Amino acid sequence: MVNVHEFLKDIPRTISNTFENNTSEDNGISEDKKIFEDKNKNISSFNLNGNEDGILKKDSSKNLIIFLAALTSFITAFSTSAIAVALPAIASQFSINAILQNWLATSFLLSIAIFSVPFGKLAGKYGLKKFFIFGILIFFVGSVGASISFSAYHLIFFRVIQGIAASMLNIASLAMVTEALPPKERGKGIGITISSVYIGLTLAPVLGGILTKNLGWPSIFYLTLPLLIIPLAILIFKVKNEWVTGKEDPFDFIGTFVYSIGILLFMYGFTILNQLTGVFLTVFGLILLAGFAFWELRQKFPVFHVEFFKNLKFSSSTLAALISYLATFIVTYILNYHLQYIRHMDPQTTGLILIVTPALMALIAPFSGKLSDKIEPQKLASLGMVFVTVAIFILIFLDKSMPLYVIVASMVLQGIGYGIFSSPNTNSIMGSVPRKFASLASATVSTVRVIGQTMSLGMLTVIFAVIMGSVPIIPRYFSLLILSSQIACVFSTVLCFIAVIASLVGMKSNKKMIG
């Protein structure tokens, strides 16, 4: 049996150790160092109470900040995944096809992908507390609107609003923990925040299924409303400080505009890649993103530090993370469709089964992160992706005759594998940059995660469009649903194998971007 107390106690040490692995300096990087120092010499942090470094002194104040970050991280993680088990019920009420169902999840992630990069700059410029409060208020409006939506298109619109707010909350919460806590306690705060994300992902299918079955799908959005009031009240009445970084830095409007349009066109084009328009939009989006990278390299105050990708360890681990999310995020949706449509399970039972993978991830990830301080992180990451590859390979043969225990076994392998992969891979990314740029590297990890998840749903949408067309998911077309799921798993298996290779590529490189 796992000792829960010891498990939770190990999480902060694991995360803290991740940030401590930045002690060596590589030769031949003085030019990169000069670039980063020039771009960040005017960045400062302070609070309205006059504490120049912005670090809180009272333990009670520190605990409030950690609680705020943990609770809002739980809410955004829950909102990302809880809707999955409600999709059949929503589709039944609004009479929508599989493609439109996927957009209910894709729209949320696409909003986060578009706004995370510019919001990362704006949050520091205008104040983390203000940004936090506005994020909560906007999320509240999005949740209310989603719960009373009278069509699928209205629901998608409010999911976009929720996604915008989620990007604000993700950025402000982690940045506030980083700014408000002293260096020796930041690992603790970050560890609890990350743990809350896993808890949100673990409980989402269970609570989502129970709520959908007993109270209807709008109750998923009702649940977040009282949870949002708690951090809002704490921020207004209890948190007296404000944190501002780079207040005088100019904002890169051109880079932000190019990035936003580029990522929007790329993501949307990817979801309709089976059409000529989709191919054009995808290619044009990639061209704009390449132009964005070229532009940012020449800016003194960039909205995104493209220089990070000059480091092989950082770039290979980031690529592995992107591909892993692209390959695995759709598995929950595939299994959800299979269990509810093919096996006729209700949302509550489906949610209880789907808890297997994220629960194992939540249990294993802290320990694999701690182990990655002693063993080459990318070795562990590649080992984890081998498990995930085998797990998804099994699902290539998913049909109505596959025994349930085989499906569960696949989910167990995926949970173990991704639990082994996620923390070491993040350790590898964070360990390839100096501690003073840890927040920027963390922002990169967050953005890559959301882009990978969005592309994953886009891939599933394209497969559904090619195989099923615009037909509803009814018994007459269940054979097409099975075929679509099998093809998606073929692509995911190949991508997982590529992620294994990507994890291994940077193993021989011990270079840090800056010493």
| pLDDT tens profile 228-272 | 999 999 988 888 777 776 667 777 888 889 998 998 898 888 777
442 pLDDT more than 70 = no
- The residue with greater pLDDT, 343 or 274, is 343
Identify whether residues 254 and 125 lie together within a single domain. Answer: no
7 pLDDT more than 70 = no
Is 57 inside a domain boundary? no
At residue 139 the predicted structure's pLDDT band, cuts being 50, 70 and 90, is: very high
The Cα 153–Cα 185 span in angstroms is 45
Identify whether residues 368 and 285 lie together within a single domain. Answer: no
Residue 392: per-residue pLDDT:
95
DSSP annotation string for 265-311: HHHHHHHTTTSHHHHHHHHHHHHHHHHHHHHHTT-SS-SS-GGGGGS
Q: What percent of the chain has pLDDT over 70?
A: 81
Identify whether residues 413 and 482 lie together within a single domain. Answer: yes
Domain termination site, one of 300, 334, 363:
300
How large is the average pLDDT for residues 385-410? 94
At residue 190 the predicted structure's pLDDT band, cuts being 50, 70 and 90, is: low
| pLDDT tens profile 96-121 | 877 777 788 778 888 888 888 888 77
Identify whether residues 161 and 234 lie together within a single domain. Answer: yes
Q: What is the dihedral of CA 307, 310, 311, 312, to 10 degrees?
A: 150
- The residue with greater pLDDT, 349 or 41, is 349
- The residue with greater pLDDT, 394 or 351, is 394
At residue 504 the predicted structure's pLDDT band, cuts being 50, 70 and 90, is: confident
Is 254 inside a domain boundary? yes
Identify whether residues 68 and 119 lie together within a single domain. Answer: yes
Domain termination site, one of 247, 267, 282:
247
288 pLDDT more than 80 = yes
Identify whether residues 230 and 275 lie together within a single domain. Answer: no
Q: What is the pTM of this model?
A: 0.71
Identify whether residues 133 and 269 lie together within a single domain. Answer: no
Range of the domain at 274: 250-300
Q: What is the CATH number of the domain that holds 416?
A: 1.20.1250.20
Identify whether residues 287 and 388 lie together within a single domain. Answer: no
Identify whether residues 366 and 491 lie together within a single domain. Answer: yes
Identify whether residues 329 and 211 lie together within a single domain. Answer: no
Identify whether residues 362 and 468 lie together within a single domain. Answer: yes
Read off the DSSP letter of residue 340: I
* Number of structural domains found in the chain: 3
378 Ramachandran zone, left/alpha/beta (phi>0; psi -120 to 50): alpha
pLDDT winner (highest mean) among 84-93, 225-234, 420-429, 434-443: 225-234
Strands 45-46 and 244-245: antiparallel
Identify whether residues 161 and 146 lie together within a single domain. Answer: yes
Least confident of 55-69, 210-224, 263-277: 55-69
